Structure 1
Amino acid sequence: MKLDAPVTGGPCWAELGTPDLAAARRFYTRLFGWRPETDPRREAGGRTIARLGDAAVAALTPLHRPSQPVAWHVSFAVADADTTGREVTAAGGVLLAGPADVSDAGRLAVAEDPTGAVFQVWQAGTFPGAGLFNAPGSLGWVELLTRGPERAAAFYTGVFGWSAGGSRPYTRWSVGGADFGGMVAMDEKFPHEVPAHWLPYFAVRDVEDAAAVATRAGGTVLMEPVSVPDGPRIAVLRDPQGAMFGVHRADGWT
């Protein structure tokens, strides 16, 4: 993506909710070379910040309730989480949690868009979000998969001020003229039970190698490596606990 730091309206963080933090740490460290730092406090429940060098790039967190799906969640930076929460509901979305303070790090809300995709909004305090984008092992693109692309486009452009370019089946999102993600219109090829969702893509040096490493580590290749027209080489993977995510060749979307 053409963002190299968190900006208002843009993606700023990716966070995994998983039932097995130890297994997730092993899998993603092997795949991306992350250095996991686990919060030792009991109340943190094992919450882990993944780093590349000194830069925080993602979080691995325990599931907060039995019904919570195993999934990656994308956060978008906002100036005021409470104001954005009101805009979400006014535009037809639903607030699922918050806004609530996360110590002095910031203020978080979890929301669902009118087509059923869950996302997070983050008002930065001491923590602005990821310290690195687009480099191997870090967030490089985010993608919305939805069966209601027109409603989704109206919602996100209204709430976050994004621009929606391109055309079906693929729309590109941008903020301030900088592309950061896209939207796929889900058709009959997608199983009915797969809901609308946000999919983070992490940059890698070699997509085929990443798919092979993920498989050896117990993951699954859901979409084999393929070259995107006017874009990078990508693949979609699933970790051993069931969370889906994408990988793309580093710098392919910049």
Structure 2
Amino acid sequence: MLTTDYAPGMPNWLDLGIPGAEIDDAVAFYRAIFGWTYRSAGPEAGGYGFFQLGDRTVGAIGPLTEEGATPSWTVYFHTADAEATARAVEAAGGAVRMAPGDVFTAGRLAAFTDPTGADFGVWQPRENPGLQAVTEPDTLCWTELYTTDAAAAKEFYRTVFSWIYRDMQMGDGMVYGVVSSSGGSAEDLSQGGIMQLQQEHLDAGAVSEWHPYFGVTDCDATYEMATKLGARVQIPPMDVPGVGRLAAVQDPWGAPFALIKGDPTMK
């Protein structure tokens, strides 16, 4: 499971890119469904700020800055050396969208695209180690990559982060690759999954994307609130044996995310 005892390759940051003029509305949306508050990172941060649950940071939000970018959540993975990771990304066939750079004295950030087209980033901590709460209700508890080429994606992330995979057979011959970090001290280091997009989704124009999962105490109630406030349905609430009850939506600006009342960690 996710933990704030971050090891290399584990998710340690998460932010939402949104048109700058829509940030206040997006803050209000996520406050209504998760109870998050907002704290600005300061006038020098260009509109970037933090989602907080109580006094703990659980994510961030900022204006889109890349030409052609659309609203989305970006998952960042821990690295001890952002420059080394950037070199590994390029060597493995990925692309550097944003070269490693300092974020004041908080740490170093870089953004990449994997060979299948999915965007992600890395965070090299300095003063800011990363998210202050995960695997709790209304916080990040899982990450999932839907990809146009699962085999290529697995090999890429194995090369870059030394991830370990455990394949699980699902219905209709689908295979779900459970991702685990190769470092850290926790006994269970599973942190996410990789799933091949099915042909009907590819035919409909689906692209490779990382999706965050947020733990909730009531999947149906949170889903109903989100859709009432303008979220678009991707997967209505459903039970997954041995996992829990989950749903997936796009927020009113088009950024996808999922909800899960997990079993047993999200009782």
| Aligned pairs (5 A) from 1:67-78 | 67-78=68-79
Q: CA deviation at 1:8?
A: 1.6
Cα pair 1:136 1:250 within 8 Å, conserved: no
Q: Distance in 2 between matches of 1:108 and 1:251?
A: 33
Over aligned residues, Cα RMSD in angstroms?
A: 1.6
Which of 33, 36, 50 is the aligned partner of 1:34? 36
Q: Distance in 2 between matches of 1:82 and 1:114?
A: 19
Tell me if 1:187 matches 2:198. yes
| Aligned pairs (5 A) from 1:1-254 | 1-19=1-19, 20-41=22-43, 43-167=44-168, 168-176=174-182, 177-191=188-202, 192-250=204-262, 252=264
Q: Distance in 2 between matches of 1:58 and 1:5?
A: 16
Cα pair 2:2 2:142 within 8 Å, conserved: no
Q: Distance in 2 between matches of 1:45 and 1:2?
A: 30
Structure 2 SS opposite 1:144: strand
Cα pair 1:100 1:108 within 8 Å, conserved: yes
Q: CA deviation at 1:7?
A: 2.1
Structure 1 SS opposite 2:180: strand
Give unpaired runs (5+ residues) of structure 2. 169-173, 183-187
% same residue: 37
Q: CA deviation at 1:2?
A: 4.4
Cα pair 2:248 2:259 within 8 Å, conserved: yes
Cα distance change on mapping 1:65 and 1:118 into 2, 3 Å = closer
Give unpaired runs (5+ residues) of structure 1. none
Deviations 1:192-246 (A, max 9, x none): 4221010001111111011101012221221101122321211101111111101
TM-score, length of structure 1 as denominator length: 0.95
Structure 2 SS opposite 1:159: helix
TM-score, length of structure 2 as denominator length: 0.90
Cα pair 1:221 1:237 within 8 Å, conserved: yes
Partner letter of residue 233 of structure 1? R
Q: CA deviation at 1:45?
A: 2.8
Structure 1 SS opposite 2:115: coil
Partner letter of residue 25 of structure 1? V
Cα pair 2:4 2:131 within 8 Å, conserved: no
